[in-house]
Amino acid sequence: MRLNVMCGRHVLEGWTNCDIQRSPHAKREPEVKADARSIPLPDGCADELMVIHGLEHFYRWEVPAALGEWRRLLKPGGRLVLELPNLLKGCQNVIDAAKSGDERTMTRLGMWAVYGDPSHEDPFMCHRWGWWPESLRALLAELGFVDVKEEPTQWHSIGKQNRDMRIVARRA
């Protein structure tokens, strides 16, 4: 099984999609409606678990429990994929845009990376903590994940390599 946790509008074919609610922009319901910190599926059921732009929506103190739940769902050797804004890139984009007066870059590649996209007017879309590769790799290793590495991003055309990051790891 491949799990797409916090799927939002990206309810994907070939995946078991999970979210706390249906996104108004999704074409269909996710297969599992649950809080990402407590998913009613058996231990070790997933070969791969993907969270695209989800981890930043948790407060810092909630993240170890969320990652523990996702580790529980992965089979030994199962792959965890996390894609999210890179706080350091977002902050650098704010600084660069402020110097150049580029409001579009300031908003889309800077402020959205830090705070989330306010156009949704939805508390679920607000960011509660920022991560950068080193901070996330260290936490994943501390929680027992192995082979933790950064890869090129694959989601969200806004930002891609100049705002976001992709961290992959395996359950030991």
Place 1 in a pLDDT band, splitting at 50, 70 and 90: very high
Beta bridge mates, 149: 168
The model's confidence at residue 161, banded by pLDDT at 50, 70 and 90, is low
Global pTM value: 0.93
**DSSP string across 31-86:** SEE--TTS--S-TT-EEEEEEES-GGGS-GGGHHHHHHHHHHHEEEEEEEEEEEEB
Q: Average of pLDDT values for 128-156?
A: 96
CATH 3.40.50.150 fits 2-85+128-171, yes or no: yes
pLDDT at 84 over 60: yes
- Sequence-ordered list of residues with C-beta below 8 angstroms from that of 26, at least 6 positions apart, any chain: 7, 8, 9, 10, 11
Return the sign of the alpha-carbon dihedral for residues 42, 61, 118, 54: negative
User: Given pLDDT bands bounded at 50, 70 and 90, which one contains residue 122?
Assistant: confident
